[in-house]
């Protein structure tokens, strides 16, 4: 009887599975934001949340120049605030205030789940006329928020629970960002994409300084980062990290998390790291791997990590598109996923950590404009003339 040999996984299937493990939660986050926007914005004028009514009418009657000026000023102020806070984060981390940062992030997560999540839940209760008393509501909301903080920061729980809470935090924050005026939203998205590009790639960028400091200390940065499961549990002996020099790992978790808009690939390490690109042959000479140039270390399997800020701004883009129509939602979603795939390919080519916002956001904004200006007109003309395609 001939012995059947198990075929090794192909390169395409391995890469595809890795990409799907990060695309699936991103898609789920965007879908939930679109559903929330569609349900709550479809309310009558008397039942709609006041913030939504304000965001829809705040730019009414203003000229195009006034809208553009206000949008630019708001986005510049927001990016400046984020930059200052990130440098403050670097300073606190430099002075080893890691415990303070961890508890601050936990408190921020509790505020998001309890206050922002609670208000959205009240909107949904009012929308669907769900009978619930206030005491039960506050008890359930408090327990839900505490469990979320513990799952993300303070204790080890099942990875599915941690991933679900991270996606939910992204949904809640993204929904409130969709309440901004339209011009402000688009200007903010473009500004954050440019900020992410500069903060990660420039030598003095705050995110780059923060990560390099963590690398030099072999410490973990408290941050909201989504981690996908490793592709293959049996080969999870290698580690994927962005290193400044090709040195061997010591079995500790060198880089676990990154700031909001950082894309990195990491795994638990047992043997020395390798610095081969993501798209490479599995039978690479081990000696060559150990002595390769600086860059992102890549093994045969691993867990992709994506900052929660990327989830938020991806979802803000499709949520804003959902306020117009679903044709733009489809176009923006495909553009974002394509941009994320391009980022992963660039990650494999350049062998270093890259910002995940710029390509996806710029493609999403471009596709939104093209769909709203060109594709919608084409589809409407086809429909009115009874043309099928």
Q: Catalytic site residues?
A: 196, 310
Could you tell me which residues come within 8 angstroms of residue 190 by beta carbon, excluding any fewer than 6 positions away?
Answer: 75, 361, 362, 365
Could you tell me which residues come within 8 angstroms of residue 220 by beta carbon, excluding any fewer than 6 positions away?
Answer: 98, 214, 253, 255, 256, 257
Burial state string for 335-356 with b = 16 or more CB within 10 A and e = fewer than 16? bbbebbeebbbebbeebbbbbb
Q: Do residues 199 and 258 lie in contact, with contact meaning Cβ atoms separated by under 8 Å?
A: no
Taking the C-alpha atoms of residue 210 and residue 179, their distance in angstroms, rounded to an integer, is 31
Q: Do residues 261 and 310 lie in contact, with contact meaning Cβ atoms separated by under 8 Å?
A: yes
Q: Is 8 left (phi over 0), alpha (psi -120 to 50) or beta?
A: beta
Taking the C-alpha atoms of residue 144 and residue 167, their distance in angstroms, rounded to an integer, is 14
Q: Do residues 281 and 249 lie in contact, with contact meaning Cβ atoms separated by under 8 Å?
A: no
For residue 206, give both structure tokens: 């705050």
Q: Do residues 305 and 257 lie in contact, with contact meaning Cβ atoms separated by under 8 Å?
A: yes
Taking the C-alpha atoms of residue 305 and residue 82, their distance in angstroms, rounded to an integer, is 21
**Pairing relation of β-strands 303-307 and 225-227?**
antiparallel
Q: Do residues 183 and 67 lie in contact, with contact meaning Cβ atoms separated by under 8 Å?
A: yes
Taking the C-alpha atoms of residue 37 and residue 317, their distance in angstroms, rounded to an integer, is 12
- Counting Cα atoms < 13 Å in the Cβ hemisphere of 389 gives 8
| Angle at CA of residue 260, ends 78 and 357, nearest 5° | 80
User: Of 171, 220, 191, nearest to 71 (Cα)?
Assistant: 191
């Amino acid at each position: 009887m001939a012995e059947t040999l198990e075929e090794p996984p192909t390169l395409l299937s391995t890469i595809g599975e890795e990409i799907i493990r990060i695309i699936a939660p991103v898609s789920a986050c965007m879908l939930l934001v679109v559903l929330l926007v569609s349900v709550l914005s479809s309310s009558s004028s008397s039942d709609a949340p006041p913030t939504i009514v304000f965001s829809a009418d705040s730019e009414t009657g203003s000229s195009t120049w006034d809208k553009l000026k206000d949008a630019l000023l708001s986005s510049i102020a927001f990016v400046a605030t984020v930059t200052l806070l990130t440098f403050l984060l670097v300073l606190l981390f430099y002075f080893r205030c890691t415990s303070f940062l961890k508890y601050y992030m936990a408190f921020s997560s509790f505020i998001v789940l309890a206050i922002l999540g609670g208000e959205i839940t009240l909107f949904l209760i009012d929308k669907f006329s769900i009978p619930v008393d206030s005491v039960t509501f506050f008890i359930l909301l408090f327990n839900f928020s505490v469990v979320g903080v513990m799952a993300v920061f303070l204790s080890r729980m099942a990875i599915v629970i941690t991933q679900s809470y991270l996606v939910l935090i992204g949904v809640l924050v993204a929904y409130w960002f969709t309440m901004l005026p339209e011009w402000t939203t688009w200007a903010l998205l473009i500004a954050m994409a440019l900020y992410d590009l500069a903060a990660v790639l420039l030598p003095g960028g705050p995110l780059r300084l923060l990560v390099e400091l963590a690398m030099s200390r072999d410490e973990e940065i408290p941050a909201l980062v989504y981690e996908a499961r490793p592709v293959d549990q049996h080969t999870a002996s290698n580690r994927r990290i962005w290193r400044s020099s090709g040195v061997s790992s010591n079995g500790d978790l060198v880089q676990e998390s990154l700031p909001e808009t950082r894309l990195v690939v990491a795994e638990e390490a047992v043997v020395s790291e390798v610095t081969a690109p993501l798209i490479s042959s599995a039978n690479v000479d081990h000696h060559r791997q150990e002595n390769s140039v600086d860059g992102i270390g890549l093994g045969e399997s691993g867990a992709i990590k994506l900052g929660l800020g990327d989830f938020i701004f991806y979802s803000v883009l499709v949520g804003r598109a959902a306020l117009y129509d679903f044709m733009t939602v489809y176009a923006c979603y495909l553009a974002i996923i394509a941009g994320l795939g391009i980022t992963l390919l660039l990650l494999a080519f350049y062998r270093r950590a890259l910002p995940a916002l710029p390509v996806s956001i710029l493609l999403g904004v471009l596709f939104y404009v093209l769909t709203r200006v060109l594709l919608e007109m084409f589809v409407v003309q086809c429909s009115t003339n009874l043309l099928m395609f």
